[in-house]
Structure 1
Amino acid sequence: MKRSAIALAAALTLGACSTPTSDDEAATPTDTPVTITFRLWDSSAVPAYRQSFEDFTAENPNVTVEIEVVEEDAYWPRVDADLGSGTMADVFWLNPATVVNLHRRDSLVPIDTRPDDWETALVELFTVEEGLWAVPQMWSSVALFYDRELFTDVDLRSEALTWAPDGGEGDTLIAAATELTVDENGRNAADDNFDPDSVVRYGFAADPDIRTAFIPFIHQAGGQFQDADGRFAFATDEGEQATQYLVDLIHEHGVSPSIDMADDEQLPALFADGEIALYQSDSDILGFIAREAEIDWAIAPIVGGPEGKISSLDGVAAAGNADSDHPEATALLLEWLGTAKGQEPLAAHGLAFPGNLRAQDTYVNHWAKQGVDVSVFIESSRHAITVSAHDLDIQPALEEIRSMRHRILAGEVPVAEGLQQAQRAGNDALGG
């Protein structure tokens, strides 16, 4: 019979340790040699986790950890299928949008402690019904990547770009993006002879993910993405102003690539190749940009709006499979993954800001040695919105919103109508 997370936690409390605690508190080692599995969706994270698990096994010789990679497009269907068939990994990556559904299925091991050195916002993202259901691993916030050679006379850190509804008073983004957008003949978008069909460099782009531009722009306009109960509430005048601005950058001003070009793989590559001058994205792409960029790049604060520089924060956590055949070893690994020692390799590889704050300096120093100042992301995180599940199954709702947002940015549906449809579809998907 399938054991619930509560029952498993009780068994672990008696036999070993139900949840991770601090670096100074250890779970009881397992006496029998076992191999457990850890699943993630990003192959670039494998070297960092491999090092962490080697250190883990050095302290726990009877436990070996094998890493499974399931690409993100197939990840969640595989989670559903493997949990149903009993073939799921013992520990696996989890995002905030899926924690409620898996908690309701009794699929997750409860985390009974919340050390002070865990990033508070990340802990809250994986809390459901006042219980924590995964161990914080890493977080990201949003900033502006830019081609430094194009801004030799502008200090973007002190003279940050701003937007205003309809490009009104205080807007500096449109003018900058217009000057930076050029066609194959070297004419910028302000030139009467500019050819919009032969653009070789766009002035501005933002990731298609709703949290890198959609959510910040809405909140910067004075609106909100969710209300206090977790229902979607962005179909307002402020939401329309923010979204119309993003649509106009593409279709009226021609300074931002079409939505068909704006996927998670194309935009970072276009920026790295010098085909986008200003690129609003999150800290997760630092590794890719550092490896692939052919330009001299730097990072500036997020584009600000009428209400200031409001960003967004997201994260990843490690969850324990409540039906693991190796509950004691699973508990040991969860404990390790919550410690600074367990996360130091993630930080040292520059993978992401670690969920354990005691490992954060290692991450900052990794990038400082490469001449990259990542402090702007830390500042961004202090003024960030999180998309919270609010004890609701939010993943299907976000998919509905992303689909309609794509149509809005493609110009297929008017902004006001599209936002109303997206909000209604999202809230219908939430149920409750």
Structure 2
Amino acid sequence: MFQRDGKFAFDNPGAIEAFRYLVGLINDDHVAPPASDTNDNGDFSRNQFLAGKMALFQSGTYSLAPVARDALFHWGVAMLPAGPAGRVSVTNGIAAAGNSASKHPDAVRQVLAWMGSTEGNSYLGRHGAAIPAVLSAQPVYFDYWSARGVDVTPFFAVLNGPRIAAPGGAGFAAGQQALEPYFDEMFLGRGDVTTTLRQAQAAANAATQR
């Protein structure tokens, strides 16, 4: 659990176990890139994978297009690794919002209606960039990747299992910014995981209230 009732809530036994596992992969087992390379570079792992220096790159559908464009080797999509509670995926999405104070409300409604139609949503999936939210528009997405020999079904099969909503809400950005220094130190292997999570949670929740 990362959030509960709009508050950060990762100071709990399950999260502590999960973060200890991740920190161990990096600093004890050395099967993940060091945090000194990844803390300040969100593309480091993807670039290492594309360079053939990392066997497994855990990401989302948003990485399909750049990997397909830049990979010089045969690659494929695998199912999300299973943990003690099985494969628990994060479900999120992007929303298009109109300005309620617009001087052209009818035009705004027309544009939003078109974006939410099969025709409008198809543009998202036609070149494999994103999964259309409109079900009737999704075939173009599957057709695009199928034509390129990429089986994207693992991204959807995992949804048959347990899943959680992506964190967000009012004040989330401020809280995320507040917790990052704590997480950076934790992934570097510095300090006790339990203590760091408690401190990070307190700092994040305080930031959301400002």
Write the distance in 2 (CA, Å) between the matches of 1:408 and 1:341. Answer: 46
3-state DSSP of counterpart to 1:312: strand
Query: Could you tell me whether the CA contact under 8 Å between 2:2 and 2:167 is conserved in 1?
Result: no
Write the distance in 1 (CA, Å) between the matches of 2:138 and 2:63. Answer: 17
Write the distance in 1 (CA, Å) between the matches of 2:185 and 2:168. Answer: 24
Match of residue 426 from structure 1: 204
Write the distance in 2 (CA, Å) between the matches of 1:409 and 1:388. Answer: 20
Query: Could you tell me whether the CA contact under 8 Å between 1:272 and 1:293 is conserved in 2?
Result: yes
Write the distance in 2 (CA, Å) between the matches of 1:336 and 1:330. Answer: 10
Q: 2:165 aligns with which of 386, 390, 395?
A: 386
Match of residue 79 from structure 2: 301
Q: How does 1:263-412 map to 2 (within 5 A)?
A: 263-382=41-160, 383-389=162-168, 392-412=170-190
| Aligned amino acid, residue 298 of structure 1 | G
More strand by share: 1
More helix by share: 2
Q: 1:365-389: CA deviations, max 9, x gaps?
A: 1101111111111122343211354
| Aligned amino acid, residue 226 of structure 1 | Q
| Matched-pair identity in % | 34
Query: Could you tell me whether the CA contact under 8 Å between 1:311 and 1:381 is conserved in 2?
Result: yes
Write the distance in 2 (CA, Å) between the matches of 1:323 and 1:282. Answer: 35
Q: How does 1:113-262 map to 2 (within 5 A)?
A: 224-227=1-4, 229-262=5-38
| Aligned amino acid, residue 102 of structure 2 | S
3-state DSSP of counterpart to 1:353: coil
Match of residue 186 from structure 1: none
Match of residue 194 from structure 1: none
**Bigger radius of gyration:** 1
Match of residue 182 from structure 1: none
| Aligned amino acid, residue 163 of structure 2 | A
Q: CA deviation at 1:327?
A: 2.6
Q: CA deviation at 1:341?
A: 0.7
3-state DSSP of counterpart to 1:279: coil
Write the distance in 1 (CA, Å) between the matches of 2:10 and 2:63. Answer: 27
| Aligned amino acid, residue 109 of structure 2 | A
3-state DSSP of counterpart to 1:395: helix
3-state DSSP of counterpart to 2:109: helix
Q: CA deviation at 1:310?
A: 0.5
2:160 counterpart of 1:415: no
Query: Could you tell me whether the CA contact under 8 Å between 1:273 and 1:295 is conserved in 2?
Result: no
Write the distance in 2 (CA, Å) between the matches of 1:258 and 1:413. Answer: 16
| Aligned amino acid, residue 385 of structure 1 | I
Q: CA deviation at 1:431?
A: 2.6
| Aligned amino acid, residue 284 of structure 1 | Y
Q: 1:359-408: CA deviations, max 9, x gaps?
A: 11211111011111111111223432113546x33221122233321221
Q: How many residues align?
A: 207
Write the distance in 2 (CA, Å) between the matches of 1:431 and 1:396. Answer: 9
3-state DSSP of counterpart to 2:204: helix
Q: CA deviation at 1:413?
A: 2.9
Instruction: Give the stretch that moved more between structures: 356-365 or 316-325.
Output: 316-325
Unaligned 5+ segments in structure 1 are 1-223
| Aligned amino acid, residue 13 of structure 2 | D
Match of residue 72 from structure 1: none
| Aligned amino acid, residue 225 of structure 1 | F
3-state DSSP of counterpart to 1:385: strand
3-state DSSP of counterpart to 1:307: coil
Query: Could you tell me whether the CA contact under 8 Å between 2:25 and 2:31 is conserved in 1?
Result: yes
Write the distance in 1 (CA, Å) between the matches of 2:157 and 2:180. Answer: 27
